[in-house]
Structure 1
């Protein structure tokens, strides 16, 4: 019998977050309604400027979602059929999907065992004459080793796209990620650390030519209305989502600090039981997810569910073993660290709104399970 007095504890408590920001959000949305300007308006421009400044990039461009951000970035770099793009197999499907969408070939490289990010020491052996770029994913909110990745890219004349969809606000060597490579991509899916009330995304760059190309591509290949110089996409960030994000951006650093507090508390109480997230001095972690690793992952997830506590597996099947990528002819055993991690990883609830009382209940439930089953 569950001793849960809190009701269901979700992975991210968006309802509780809304209680905090409801009034300023409604005020901002009312401004949009009254303006009659719903696409590519003032709120979107404000958001682009503020987020570019936030990550120390020269240019920001709002797009429809994080997946489009990745695809537009590849297209802006003229990557397409016959080209290869190196990335990690342990990430959300969109990281590989975007490569395939532009007609290029995803080439996977195994991950670091400690951080779950792409292992730079294994990248060079995957480079061929067809390699054009590296997509570095900052998984769960922790930066990849950008110094090593950028150095490899320079040596081999490759472009670097940062998939920062889970890592807004994360720092690497004192710099916020996103503006370290050629292009940075962000997702504002509602559950992200900076989340909209629907789909939304952003692309940042320090290169004017890339910004102009991205701007054209997101709007049907059009720089001037009804004049289309290329085949683009309809991937414009609407004013309602921009308005929501402007409000939530004000709270972002406060929320990130709270996430770190929650993560540190988990680690303090649970690190002796199983593998908990590792952090380093120059690679910050903003904890979009707090992932533990253990052999009896599925049993713990079931026990948490019985006690009204959500958990999630990010990700149960590495990209190279996904049915959609069978045509690449990868097989089980090709990337052993990613495959082992997929069988052991489990995310616990983490949110700026997670109270210490609820977290204590989660921790005590996990400890009881481990005492019996560890």
Structure 2
């Protein structure tokens, strides 16, 4: 395992921290060696630049590779003391490597990009000169880089600017991702109670803030390199557990609101939503186990369908539409119907993938 070694000094703050501290966090998060042997393998990092952590992960398994920006080395996985000296000289001189370096060069500005499996997207990670005037643009690039490429329509189109502003405030104020998750968890519970008593507008407003914070905590963790196992489990645990409670509370709240569901409809709605929610999650898990990737990155249709599939945020749009016409009962019935339709779509896609594999066809992501 190579060490991750900073070269140079840069006092410019990014997300409220110095560049060398950011590099240290990247090294810890990605498991780089803590001790640097001057004659051993290492990844040299030019502190004149800020770069996406995806680059260090990419170069970790590629000895003899250098990532450059406008020809200047930004990151270099050197193997020998001679390579280290040559790269370090170029970094200190802010110059390009000589043609006889024997190293493989990757230009950060190249259009080829890298497939980020964790965030389900092909991306061109940023690498930019870190100067005060460039900080807002670099922070935006860092934030955009932390966004999932395949997600729901609200997260993709409505939340980004709100969440970016809150993420910046939290980073500069020293608010941690887990503290954001804690605030969101409280709001999630408040929204559930409001739905139960038929206070739907209050619940929607509270739920809206929670949903934005649900985006912020993950982005804050990635941008400030402060992700933790506890935070990841907490965030994903809340995401996984709370939606059925929201739907149940909404259905129950229709009575105090004045639009009660009869018993048969109530239990049909609850049964459909609970079964559909669990079954869809199981299908997604089965797809990952069988084919080694998320179902929503298989083909272009699957990524498009993820925008509107029966997850929390698209379902909230349906509930909002029902409430606008003072029929929250129609809204929850619509969520149940859309859950059933989405379940059928996911099941069909799973069977189609299995059939293609059985015929000898390859199952690969259209993003690869």
Q: Please tell me whether Structure 1 or Structure 2 has the larger radius of gyration of its CA atoms.
A: 2
- Of structures 1 and 2, the one scoring higher in RCO (CA 8 A, sep 6+) is 1
Sort the TM-score into its range (normalised by shorter chain).
under 0.3
Q: What is the TM-score of this pair, normalised by structure 2?
A: 0.25
Larger helix proportion of the pair: 2
Q: What is the TM-score of this pair, normalised by structure 1?
A: 0.24
